[in-house]
């Protein structure tokens, strides 16, 4: 089966899908923004990573900034109608020009939406500016009042837009009611598997609406808990679990006529910035890990040890550039809608490997140039927007 064969059905049911999306979005608080990595094998399309604090707005096409601004304004007007001032609370990556440019682009989107925008955090106090790709980004003095409420030049902003994934834990001042996304969605608490748990029922409903097997719209996965890679007994049990999972994938592949050996993506269950990711075709590869690789797999951003691992079906990418370079879509969403996308391209990686490495580059295309525009507006947008609804459900589950 190739999902392209079902694209006409996707279009025929567009009104039903739109009505279904509207209903589900009314049931949860949709995130103000987010990003997802999508893998498209032709026979399966799925979100393989979902980020609540997107850090690549600098890669979106300039043609998309107006729509992103309009969606941002819609979200703020609905959720905080009296807002006139948005403050962006960033990470402290002052030497990462790409990240600084991401913040500069977010600021431009906010200002184009008609809001005043300031940028800064207590960690960045003392710096008047940081340098992005397009030049300096001015920073504002940020402090805490006697009640640990964040202030900018002594005044409390109407809305704080968090662009810090909180891997290292909560930050003083980042916990008030005027902050979005909610701090409890930071990687100090959130787990990737929780997103898949929230996503699965939405995928199943959508697949039923379209008339296809839900298996074609998300990767299979499971979590291996409490595994200490330094202990032989833990590795042995983990290897057995991986082999059992691979055997199940082989059965499914054979039933569908998919002529390739399955691969699993082995990664820690919290945010990693691409650290701690390994592609496996056999559980024995875990048994034979070097200490260096084991330490890398156990390492999360911020240096936290990992004991719970997400074992995820690897979806190969069937997409390439005209030159044959391996490619995957990255979808950027505001107010739950897929408003922009760019492509992670890595000529040094195969169709199954993790493309998120230093050899990757990013390209965006205007609609007339994008060779995958039909898929971008179709299957890629569909799974990305389902992911945002699921992210809203995740946040609600934490608050319950």
Neighbours of 144 (CB within 10 A): 12
Q: What is the pLDDT of residues 319-333, one digit of tens each?
A: 999 999 999 999 999
Which ranges of the chain would DSSP assign to H, the alpha helix? 7-12, 14-25, 65-79, 97-112, 192-210, 232-256, 284-287, 291-298, 373-375, 381-399
> Which of 88-102, 209-223, 266-280 is the least confident region?
266-280
What residue has token string 């490495």? 357
Residue of 390, 383, 309 whose CA lies nearest to 41: 383
**Helix, strand, or coil here: 366?**
coil
Torsion (CA) 67, 69, 71, 76 in degrees, nearest 10: -170
Provide the angle, in degrees to the nearest 10, between the axes of the packed helices 65-79 and 97-112: 70
pLDDT of 366 strictly over 90: no
Assess contact for 41 and 315: CB atoms under 8 A.
yes
Q: Which residues contact 319 (CB under 8 A, 6 or more apart)?
A: 40, 326, 327, 328, 329, 343, 372
Q: What is the pLDDT of residues 188-199, one digit of tens each?
A: 778 899 999 999
Q: What is the pLDDT of residues 106-159, one digit of tens each?
A: 999 999 999 999 999 999 998 999 999 999 999 999 998 878 889 998 899 999
High-pLDDT (> 90) share of the chain, %: 70
pLDDT of 160 strictly over 70: yes
Q: What is the pLDDT of residues 272-313, one digit of tens each?
A: 544 568 899 999 998 887 766 666 665 544 444 557 889 999
pLDDT of 67 strictly over 70: yes
What's residue 305's pLDDT? 52
Q: Which residues contact 156 (CB under 8 A, 6 or more apart)?
A: 145, 149, 150, 178
Q: Which domains does the chain have, with CATH numbers?
A: 81-177 (3.40.50.11280), 220-313 (3.30.1490)
What's residue 98's pLDDT? 94
What's residue 151's pLDDT? 93
What's residue 304's pLDDT? 44
The pTM of this model reads 0.92
Peptide bond into 181 cis (omega under 30): yes
Which DSSP string do the residues of 319-350 spell out, in sequence order?
Answer: -B-TT--EEEEEEEEETTEEEEEEEEEETTS-
Q: What is the pLDDT of residues 348-357, one digit of tens each?
A: 999 999 998 8
């Amino acid at each position: 089966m190739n999902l392209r064969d079902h694209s006409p059905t996707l279009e025929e049911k567009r009104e039903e899908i739109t009505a279904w999306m509207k209903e589900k979005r009314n049931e949860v608080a949709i995130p103000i923004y987010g990003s997802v990595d999508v893998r498209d094998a032709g026979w399966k399309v799925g979100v393989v990573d979902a980020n609540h604090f997107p850090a690549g707005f600098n890669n979106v096409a300039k043609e998309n900034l107006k729509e992103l601004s309009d969606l941002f304004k819609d979200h703020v007007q609905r959720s905080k109608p009296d807002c006139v001032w948005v403050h962006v609370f960033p990470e402290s990556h002052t030497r990462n020009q790409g990240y600084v440019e991401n913040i500069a682009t977010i600021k431009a989107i906010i200002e184009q939406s008609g809001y005043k925008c300031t940028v800064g955090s207590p960690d960045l106090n003392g710096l008047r500016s940081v340098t992005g790709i397009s030049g300096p980004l001015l920073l504002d003095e940020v402090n805490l009042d006697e009640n640990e409420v964040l202030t900018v030049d002594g005044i409390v902003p109407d809305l704080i837009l968090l662009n810090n994934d909180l891997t290292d834990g909560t930050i003083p001042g980042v916990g008030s009611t005027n902050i979005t996304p909610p701090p409890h969605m930071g990687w100090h608490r959130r787990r990737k598997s929780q997103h898949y748990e929230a996503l699965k029922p939405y995928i199943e409903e959508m697949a039923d609406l379209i008339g296809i097997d839900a298996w074609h719209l998300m990767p299979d996965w499971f979590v291996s808990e409490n595994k200490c890679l330094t202990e032989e007994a833990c590795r042995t049990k983990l290897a057995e679990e991986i082999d059992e999972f691979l055997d199940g994938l082989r059965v499914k592949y054979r039933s569908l006529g998919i002529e390739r050996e399955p691969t699993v993506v082995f990664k820690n269950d919290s945010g990693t910035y691409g650290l701690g990711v390994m592609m496996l075709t056999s559980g024995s590869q875990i048994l034979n890990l070097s200490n260096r690789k084991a330490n890398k797999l156990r390492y999360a951003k911020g240096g936290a040890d990992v004991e719970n691992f997400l074992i995820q079906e690897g979806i190969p990418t069937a997409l390439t550039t005209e030159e044959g370079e391996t490619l995957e879509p990255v979808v950027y969403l505001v107010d739950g809608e897929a408003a922009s996308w760019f492509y992670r391209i890595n000529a040094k990686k195969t169709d199954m490997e993790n493309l998120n490495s230093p050899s990757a580059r990013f390209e965006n295309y205007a609609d007339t140039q994008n060779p995958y525009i039909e898929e971008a507006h179709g299957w890629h947008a569909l799974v990305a927007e389902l992911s945002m609804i699921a992210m809203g459900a995740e946040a609600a589950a934490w608050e319950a």
